[in-house]
Amino acid sequence: MSATTREQRALEAKVSDVFRSFASAGYRNRAFLSELWREEHLDYLLKGMTRLPASFTVLDSSRPWLCYWIVHSMALLGRQLDPALQADTIEFLKHCKDPLGGYGGGPGQIAHLATTYAAVGTLVSIGGAQALSSIDREKILEFLLRMKDPSSGGFRLHDGGEMDVRGCYTAISVAYLLNILVPPLLEKLGEYVASCQTYEGGIGGEPGAEAHGGYTYCGLAALIMADQVDSLDLPGLLNWAAFRQGKVEGGFQGRTNKLVDGCYSFWQGGVFPLLQQVVTKLISQQTSGSSIMHEEIEDDSDTEIGVRKARNQQHRPFHNPTALQGYILLCCQVLNGGLIDKPGKSKDYYHTCYCLSGLSTAQHCLSTNPEDHPPSGHVFGPYSNLLDSTHPLLNFHMKRYMEAVDYFVSKA
């Protein structure tokens, strides 16, 4: 037996013990065990906005990410920073600006596409004119255009830096939000991302790399925003993503033959609502030759037959969102606040953010109107577990996103 198989079986046994204990508990105990420990998570998150231990110095170049993970998580839990902390956070991010556009990982650091996304996401999550007016759209557009690699269609993450699918996603996301998605940013984008799709169906970080959950979400989302999603083999992508959900655990693995990890609740779980969007678009087109998923509908010569098949699937999830919520709530919560990768791991702000983002996405995955609450049957545990919705393409708080879009459209 290989080491990989031993680790998988050990994790399945550990998770099965948790699920058996839950199933055998009385009604009241099951309600407690499946409860989202909202206040404990908020306490943990707030501590991270004031003082962090010395071990966090390794994240000195990721300080906007810490802001994003914490502020976005709090927003999903229905809580805002107090006005003083909001003002401090806005001021701190101003110091992370590069004079040539974009945001660095900390004051005085060079601009980077990933930390630009994180800084903008933090400011959107805070919301309001003070936060949004601090974003210099013109300078950010200059930075995005400078990072664009015209020969490949991809984006470099910083001046002279590496080029991968993260760069495509973070650049397109920021441009999409700020209403600066100009044609030069879109040139050959579909070709580049498609060159990163592997024989398995998922998307790797760069051409020739292994298919990976984070890059698959980033590539798919970027091409949906760019209206170039037909560049991808969508049936292959769906097949690969569906098989990443653990049959026992209910959570998602990031790559083939890896263990499930709470963060992929969003990176993999978030792929399926995006594919639902594609199916909805297919249905709305309904004309011969208009389908962007003609392969998925088995090469039917009659497009109407394929459309009817897609319509039958439109309101059914492509994954098991209930099992995913069960994994997050029963296996990834820490009693004193914070969420984790899997049982036995330590909590951190990254996993807290993406476990909560995945939980929100699973709860709202079939909602057609972001302002509607999902039915109780879509929420694992008590209905009080329901989180605010997150934007499926950007992973920004939905209401704050809509307010930001209105703001930036008014400034265009």
Active site residue 327: no
Please tell me which residue in 255, 294, 319, 397 is annotated as part of the active site.
Answer: 255
Q: Is 255 part of the annotated catalytic residue set?
A: yes
| Known catalytic membership, residue 399 | no
Decide if 351 is catalytic: yes
- Residue 233 appears among annotated catalytic residues: no
Told to judge if 373 belongs to the known catalytic residues of this protein, a careful annotator would answer no
- Known catalytic membership, residue 261: yes
Identify the active-site residue in 14, 188, 258, 345: 258
Q: Which of 340, 323, 322, 320 is nearest to 332 (CA)?
A: 340
Tell me which of 137, 158, 244, 351 is the catalytic residue. 351
Catalytic residue among 96, 168, 196, 263: 263
Active-site option among 103, 264, 349, 401: 264
Q: Residue 189: helix, strand or coil by DSSP?
A: helix
Pick the catalytic residue: 158, 212, 319, 347? 212
- CA–CA separation, 56 vs 338, rounded Å? 16
Considering the candidates 281, 311, 348, 399, report the single residue annotated as catalytic.
348
The one catalytic residue among 72, 261, 332, 353: 261
Which member of 72, 341, 347, 349 is catalytic?
341
Give the catalytic positions in this structure. 212, 255, 258, 261, 263-264, 341, 348, 351
